[in-house]
């Protein structure tokens, strides 16, 4: 997030210390979905950063713990994550008229994973 002026389109506090932002830079055409993990002293670490500038409309919404997510049938699932029941809150990124992806924290891999749930 090197752009100095940001127009935050939507913010979702997922759980304590975790925030997801959908933002657009006022200085360029850059639009991104960003997930930050923040400590109590307001130090934040960027753990996910995805450029969505090419998409006309993008929405984000929380996905509750316990929700089952699985890869869409339109995608070859041989090399993608198996269906999962979320053990922590997730974020659905909807690319209007194109696709939906659920982002979630994989504690075993210690990283954000994505499953495309609709095409």
Q: Which helix (H) or strand (E) holds 78?
A: none
Q: What is the pLDDT of residue 16?
A: 54
The b-or-e profile of 37-72 (16+ CB within 10 A means b, else e) is: beeeeeeeeeebeeebeebeebebeebeeeeebbbe
CA distance 10 to 60: 7
- Distance (Å, whole) CA 87 – CA 104: 9
pLDDT in tens, 35-56: 888 777 767 788 888 888 888 7
Mean pLDDT of 49-69: 86
Q: How confident is the model at residue 12 (pLDDT cuts 50, 70, 90)?
A: low
- Domain segments of the chain: what residues? 6-118
The model's pTM: 0.74
């Amino acid at each position: 997030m090197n752009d100095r002026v940001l127009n935050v389109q939507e913010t979702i506090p997922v759980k304590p210390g975790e925030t997801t932002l959908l933002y657009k830079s006022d200085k360029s055409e850059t639009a991104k979905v960003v997930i930050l993990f923040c400590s109590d002293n307001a130090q934040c670490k960027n753990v996910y950063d995805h450029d969505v500038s090419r998409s006309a409309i993008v929405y984000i919404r929380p996905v509750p713990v316990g929700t089952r997510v699985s890869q869409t049938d339109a995608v070859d699932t041989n090399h993608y994550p198996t269906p999962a029941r979320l053990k922590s809150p997730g974020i659905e990124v909807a690319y209007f008229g194109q696709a939906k992806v659920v982002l979630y924290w994989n504690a075993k891999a210690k990283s954000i994973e994505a499953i495309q749930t609709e095409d």
